[in-house]
């Protein structure tokens, strides 16, 4: 039986845990950052925040962030 590899695609959505790992902030602060991004982009509560929106908001290149999302 051949060995098959599972290919994991890059994520486009960022979560509070990711923000915690990237910024070193607490969970509560990470949630506040995501809420600020939602408000800045005209999204409602519960709408997903993309990695691109997060990078634009905190002014960091997406390539630097991708290492934290693996």
* Distance in angstroms (rounded) separating the CA atoms of residues 62 and 70: 13
What distance in Å separates the CA atoms of residue 3 and residue 12, rounded to the nearest whole number? 28
Please state, for a pLDDT cut of 70, what percent of the chain lies above it.
87
Q: How far apart are CA 44 and CA 46, in angstroms?
A: 6
Given this model, what pLDDT does residue 7 score?
Answer: 61
The residue ranges of every structural domain in the chain are 13-69
CB 54 within 8 A of CB 43: no
Global pTM value: 0.81
Residue 2 is classified by DSSP as: -
């Amino acid at each position: 039986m051949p060995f098959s590899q599972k290919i994991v695609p890059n994520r486009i959505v960022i979560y509070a845990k990711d923000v915690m790992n990237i910024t070193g902030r607490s969970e509560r602060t990470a949630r506040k950052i995501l809420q600020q991004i939602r408000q800045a982009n005209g999204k409602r509560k519960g709408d997903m925040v993309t990695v691109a929106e997060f990078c634009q908001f905190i002014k960091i290149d997406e390539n630097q962030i991708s290492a934290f999302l693996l």
